[in-house]
Structure 1
Amino acid sequence: MGPFFFIIKICLVLIFDYFAKSLFPEATTLWLILTSFLVCIVIRNTAMFRNLVSSFTNKVSRSSDTILSSRQELLLSLYNLSQYLERSHRANDAKRARYRRMPAKHQHICNSIGYPEKLTLVDTLLARNNDTIMRVYADGIVRHHVTEEDLRQSRRLARSTNHYDYFRVVESLCHLTRDWSESGSTEIQPLIDYICDNSRNLDLKNTTVIVPGSGLGRISHELALMGFKEVHAVDFSWLMTLFNESIYGSRSQMASIYPYVHNYSNHWQTKDQMGLATYRYGIRQPENLHIHCQNFTEFTSPAETAAYNVLIVTCFFIDTAEDLLSYVDSINRICKPFKGKKRWINVGPLKYGTAPKVELSNEELGDLTSAMGWNRIHQLNSPTKLGYLTDTIGLWQGYYGVCMWTAEKKC
């Protein structure tokens, strides 16, 4: 809109306002609202208004970039942990409130079978889960030198961005069960077995291992125990990293969590929701294990400690890529400085998410990785059925068909 037409339109609005107030003086408020509305319509099409909107949008974008810096992501993750008990009790209270809105006679029947007592028991078990959460929280504060001012900043940041991710905290508890408890061994052990079996013939003392998307770190831990020169566990999530780090310490102890307590659905017996998982924490961290919270596509193995060979291990990871080829590019980049054998072991499904730009079958993935320099030297001929954060006695159980293959870089 040119300046001339803008001025004409504003003048017409003002003339309209003048005559309206003169003819209907008793409706001044109405005409003020209507005139303001018309002025907004005129202004929104001007270049000046569009520039202001663009400037504001850029500032918000820059602010978001700052929020997502690694240190502030750490602080927000610590804030999420600190809010677990309050948020989980709030979710349980919402169920309690819905229950109380039932007709009195229906409540009476549910009272007779002990439903209110179940709600109260869930509150108790959530508090016990919080013992684990608070230990992870306290450990993270010490490990990463978090100050009181940092914690105040995290609270301000969370409030200003309306940031809280309760689901991710619950998910981390489930991953803790999967990776480190005895009950989770049916899901994780077959993966460990395949990875270890297909890496034993490497020169362990002269091989660097890199595990992108390492999660709670059990596979990285087992590889470190095998005796590789160094193992780098790399995960983008600070929540996962904090839980992983909290496993290690100077005094081994047992702890308990209740991974299914958050979900009231799909239980055969009431006690199944209250199922207990035990795990050990405070174990010694292998000296050759290094934990990184970092975007894998930006990771570089330290040159001063790099070995002759390199092993990449991807577990339930490659299908998380928006652009799968960028993951392969990053793997090739990481492997390039190594002069010896370059091996890649992959285990996991192909359940693509995060708006993928390409979605490949296992066959197509083999052709693609071959075109990008990798030859498969071993693979299972059919998918292995494995649970993923699955309650094996529940009425709903999630299983993946898992691909397992090993490739080496072409000379």
Structure 2
Amino acid sequence: MSHMTEQERRDEVAHFMKIVTAFRQYEAYAISANTRRRRDFYRLPKEDKEILDSLGWRKQLDMVDELIHENAKVLERIVANPAIFMDQEELALAENNNHDVRDSHGMDHMHSHGDGAHSHSHSSHSHSHGSHETSRRQQVSATDMDKVRSTLKQIVRDWSEEGKAERDVTYKPMIDALLEHFPDQGTWPEKKVLIPGAGLARLGWELAFLGFETQCNEFSHFMLLPSYFILNETKDVNQHTIYPHIHTFSNAMSAKSMMRGISFPDVSPSSLPRSSRFSMVAGDFEELFGPKEDPEEDETEQWDAVLTCFFIDTAKNIVNYLRIIHRILTPGGIWINCGPLLWHFENSEDISIELSLEEVKELAAKIGFELKDQRTIDTSYVGDEGSMLSYVYKTAFWTATKFAK
């Protein structure tokens, strides 16, 4: 971080503290929303209240309060030791940092996918956190709280038995395509696989379990904090239980369904073979994998496969994304994609180039890719099987190789 100015460093620290604070303030925000329901109940005529009481309405609200508390305990564990993301100098800065959060710097920009979020959030990537004292001074936005609630659903998608069906729809075709491209299992430990926008890293974990050398890349601390917690501090199968569907009563099939607990993780993250090579790097994809002046840092032709799952639409400039993917692939390497085109920076103040699917494919050809196995995969994203509402994405799947030189 030596290239950053002192003010930039302070802004990075403040931004990360704001994220940690959002996790810690989840309980107060969620209880407040549930209290609104209780207040509305008491404004009803006596007869109506009695009818709702006969349905168990007030008891349901009391139970939701209890489940919010259970969620909060898990979220507090996730951010219990944020100093792991800082060096000592940054820690000292965080402890002495009393300036206001600057929303203009390092913002997480997220467009919601469906009833949860396909939340490739774009946030500051410094590893930093502030003290409780500083955190209490910060204001958490409604958007940040949406991301915290979305994080609970992301955990379900990537690390629960309930999420397996949704994972299998997208992850399995990508894994199968990789295995088809590299059919010799004996070579897998030599093959380097990159997964940008890895979220909570389940796809990367699965590939490392198979034997590939795998690196996940993620930008958002809303994803980095829970992924670290799951991968490094969770040892037992179904060690934790969360209640991700209690935040909205709309479209609930039943109160029981809405308040169901979902345990995670469905596998032991520490069960990777001792020989596994699995890592996660925090930072912006373009900054980390774009061209470097230092040859030792340059990633040109260093990766045998790049897997992008619900990722390419996080680009501000899709031309540069595809250019980087093409450049870092080894000769004979493969790019496997599956996802929609919900351009994350559309209607924002940032640069945003929004292409149609047809144009993205044409662009890929111009960059130097030969697209194969093109198909559409229908899938939900952090969907709720107990909801009356379901969003379905007609995701674009393909494999691509570099044109022969």
For the superposition of Structure 1 and Structure 2, which TM-score range results when normalised by the shorter chain? 0.7 to 0.9
Q: CA deviation at 1:285?
A: 7.3
How many aligned positions are there? 343
- Aligned 8 A contact 1:139 1:246 in 2: no
Distance change >3 Å, CA 68–CA 253, structure 1 → 2: farther
1:257-304 Cα shifts (integer Å, max 9, x gaps): 111111111012121111221222762175411112211111139958
Higher helix share: 1
- Matched residue of 1:402: which SS? strand
Cα distance in 1 for partners of 2:67, 2:246 equals: 7
Q: Distance in 1 between matches of 2:232 and 2:318?
A: 36
Code of the aligned partner of 1:370: A
Alignment of 1:67-106 (within 5 A): 68-69=11-12, 71-106=13-48
Whether 1:352 and 2:298 are equivalent positions in the alignment is no
Moved more, 389-398 or 353-362: 353-362
1:390 — aligned with what?
A: 383
The verdict on how the C-alpha distance between 1:154 and 1:368 changes in structure 2, with shifts beyond 3 A counting, is farther
Alignment TM-score, normalising by the size of structure 2: 0.76
- 1:237 maps to which of 211, 215, 220: 220
Larger radius of gyration: 1
Which consecutive residues of structure 1, in runs of 5 or more, have no partner in the other structure? Answer: 1-61
Q: Does structure 2 retain, via aligned residues, the 8 Å contact 1:85–1:130?
A: yes
By how many angstroms is 1:405 displaced? 0.5
Whose RCO is larger (CA < 8 A, sep 6+)?
A: 2
Q: Which amino acid aligns with 1:347?
A: C
Deviations 1:334-377 (A, max 9, x none): 44xx4x32321101112333217443333322111000111113
Look up the equivalent residue of 1:394 and give its one-letter code: S
Provide Cα deviations, 1:371-405, integer angstroms capped at 9, x if missing partner. 0111113222xx22111111123111111112110
Range with greater deviation from structure 2 (128-137 or 306-315)? 306-315
Alignment partner of 1:342 out of 318, 333, 349: 333
Question: Which of 277, 298, 305 lines up with 1:288 in the alignment?
Answer: 277
In the alignment, the residues of structure 2 paired with residue 371 and residue 89 of structure 1 have an alpha-carbon distance, to the nearest angstrom, of 53
| CA contact 2:170–2:379 (8 Å) conserved in 1 | no
Which residue type is aligned with residue 43 of structure 2? R
User: In the superposition, relative to structure 1, how do residues 319 and 160 fare at CA in structure 2: closer, same or farther (>3 Å)?
Assistant: same
2:172 to 166, 189, 193: 193
Q: Which residue does the alignment assign to 1:377?
A: 372
User: Quick one: distance in 2 between partners of 1:140 and 1:156?
Assistant: 14
Structure 1 residue aligned with 2:241: 256
Query: How far did residue 123 of structure 1 move?
Result: 0.6
| Residues 21 and 135 in structure 2, CA contact (< 8 A), matched pair in contact too | no
Q: Which moved more, 1:355-364 or 1:386-395?
A: 355-364
The residue type equivalent to 2:277 in the other structure is N
Give yes or no for contact 2:253–2:386 (8 Å, CA) kept in 1.
Answer: yes
Query: Structure 1 residues 293, 309: closer, same or farther in 2, change over 3 A?
Result: closer
Of the three residues 315, 319, 325, the one matched with 1:325 is 319
Q: Does 1:138 align with 2:76?
A: no
Q: Which runs of 5+ in 2 are unaligned?
A: 97-128
Partner residue of 1:246 out of 225, 229, 248: 229
CA distance in 2, matches of 1:127, 1:305: 47
Q: Does 1:159 align with 2:143?
A: no
Residues 160 and 80 of structure 1, relative CA distance in 2, 3 Å threshold: closer
What's the TM-score once normalised by structure 1's chain length? 0.75
| Paired amino acid for 2:244 | P
Q: Residues 152, 245 of structure 1: CA spacing in aligned structure 2 closer, same or farther, 3 A cutoff?
A: closer
Taking only the aligned residue pairs, the percentage that are identical comes to 27
1:149 maps to 95
Structure 1 equivalent of residue 206 of structure 2: 222
251, 255, 262: which one aligns with 1:270: 255
Deviation digits for residues 292-337 of structure 1 (CA, Å, limit 9, x no counterpart): 22111111399589786421111011122232223213323444xx
